[in-house]
Structure 1
Amino acid sequence: MNPGASAEGAVVAIPEPSRWVRRWAHLVTPGGTVLDVACGSGRHARWFASRGYPVVAIDRDPAALAAMRHEAGIVTVQADIEGGPWPLDDGRKFAAVVVTNYLHRPLFGRLLDALAPGGVLIYETFAQSNETVGKPSNPAFLLAPGELLDVVRPQLRVVAFQDGFLATPKEAFVQRVCAVLVPERHADSAESLPPARYDLAG
C-alpha cells in the first residue's frame, strides 16, 4: 500500500489503485488532466499525479480531500455531487474520467460530457448479485446487466468491458468499462485505438 498523510499529518495507508484503472491508464494522453470522481482517499488521484498527470479530485468528504492538500499535481474540489450542483460547470474537459466503487446514475451524462476528444472513461463499480456476497447490497448501488455498455456506447468507443464475479481482492460482482471519446477526425477509423474487446480476464 502507498503511504499518505492525514489532515493531522499522520501517515496513513492508501489502498492500492484498481487493477482495471492501471490496466487502461496507458490510453490517457500523457500530461492530460484526469478527473477522479468520488475520489475518497485519493488512491487513483495520487497514482496518476505520481506519473505526471494533473488531477482534479472531487469528493464530499473534507477530511479525505485535506489529506491530499499538499500532494503535487492534485487540485481538490469539495462538493456534494448528488445533492448539489455539478461543481465543474466551467466547460473544462479532461483527458480521462475515473470512477471506482461509486454509482449515482444521474451523473452519467455529466461524466461523458467532461471528456475531451480522445478522452478515456475508466469506470468500475458493483453489479447486481453483489448482494449475495456482501455490500453494497442496495439495488440503487448495483448496476444492471450491461448497464455501463448502454450508457457509453451511444457516444464512446468501447475498448474493454467486464461484467461478472471477481474473487480478489475480495469477492464481488462488478462491471467495468474502458471507453474512448473518438476525435471527430477519427470517427470513422480505428486509427490510434486498440481493437474493442469484451472479456472477463484480469
Structure 2
Amino acid sequence: MGLREMKAARTRQQIADVAVTAFIEQGYDETTMEQIAEAAEIGTSTLYRYFPSKELLLLEPFGEVLDFGRFLRARPDDEPVAEALAGALLDLADAYADPSKRIAEIRRIVDASAVPRARLWDVFLASRADFEAALAERMHLAPTDHSVQMTAGITLDVFARVDERWKGDHRKDYRDLIREALASLPTTTIILPTLPR
C-alpha cells in the first residue's frame, strides 16, 4: 500500500470513528453529515467523497468484521476445509466482539433504523459472494457449485444463529457461542428436502 492509499485509509477510519461516536452519543437520525464533517475536521465534500450516505458511515465497521472471505483466506493453505471454516468463524468472532469496534452499540442503532438495516443486508450479501469464492478455491470447485453454496450457507447460518443469541445478551463470549454451535453440529439432525419417489 502506497503512502497516498495509507493516508486515505487513515482518513476513512477517522471519519468512521467520529461518525460512530456521534451516532451513539446523540442518535443516528439526529446526527447530520455536516456535524460529522465538522467533528472530523474535514470539508463536507470530502466526507461525501469517502461516504456518499449516512448509512454507509454507520455500516463501515461491518464491512471489516463480516469479511468472511478474508477470514477464510487467512487460514493455513494445508488446513482441511472443515477446520478452516471453524477457524474462520472463530477468527471472525474475535473481530466481531472486539470492544474497540463497538459492534454491539452499532447493531442496536442499525436494528432500530430501517434504511441502515436494509443496507446491512447488502453488505452481508456481498460478503457472502466473496466467501463463496474463497470457499470454492479451497474446495477446488466453481463458486456456483451446489456443494460450495450449501457449505457456505450452513457456515453462515451458524454465524447468524450465534449472532441472534449474542444480540440478546452481549455479556456472552462470542467465541464461546461459536464453539458451542460448532460442537453441536455433529449431533444435529438435519433433514434435507427430498422429492417423493
TM band (smaller chain): under 0.3
TM-score (normalised: structure 2): 0.27
More helix by share: 2
Structure (1 or 2) with the larger CA radius of gyration: 2
More strand by share: 1
